[in-house]
Amino acid sequence: MTNDSNLIRLNKHLALLLGVSRREADDMIAKGTVLVNGKPVILGARIEPGDSISVNGELINNNADHQYVIFNKPIGYVCSRRAQGDNPTIYDLLPADMASLKPVGRLDKNSSGLLILTNDGDFAHQMTHPKFSKVKVYQVSLDTPLQPLHQQMIADYGVEIGDGTSKLGLERTDDERKNWIVTMSEGRNRQIRRTFIALGYEVTELHRTNFGSYSLGDIKSGEYKTINIA
């Protein structure tokens, strides 16, 4: 008879192995795409160490540990496992054993800086869901000086960008008014670029330096370091 203390919640285990949230793991279980020892399972199922698990007919590695990586993404790389046209992917710069890690949020091809990768779905959820309000910090350069009126609009009132109002924190870094420190706690697709485009500006450089309590530090472009989560 199996000791209950040795049993593992399947959704928690799938979140670890696949880098998804527990809710996403529950959705996969409910759809019948998860088999344990060749048989369908129900929500709330528990497994024993050594059980065989497959998802969508593919056997998955049953021995993964949580991994957390801070990566300094260079410009020109996409945050996907497959190349998009001639654009290389960030995984071309990472070791093969990190291929299963997923980005926590994304940076577009023309943006650089701090990118966190993990196989911990719950951690990724806590870092990206709006209710947790994780602040991100960017160094942003514009093609033309930002007018004071537009600065006030962005920082105090927000700018309509098609999927809602975008409000950003702004700190000027020079008298030219082209270079700014931008802070935000949302994570809408290309939000910073779209905010400035809505007012007639082009973002020429966008570099993320901080995400929540994590900072890029002295990690060089294209390099990474593994971190521990308390």
Distances (CA, A) of 211 to 1, 29, 70, 106, 137: 47, 32, 10, 11, 7
**Residues 26, 51, 97, 108: which is the catalytic one?**
108
> At residue 91, what are phi and psi to the nearest 5 degrees?
-70, -15
To the query of whether residue 108 is one of the catalytic residues in this protein, the response is yes
Find the helix packing angle between 10-18 and 121-128, rounded to 10°: 80
Q: Are 179 and 173 in contact (CB under 8 A)?
A: yes
> What is the number of residues in the chain?
230
DSSP string for 113-126? EEEEEES-HHHHHH
Catalytic residue numbers?
Answer: 108
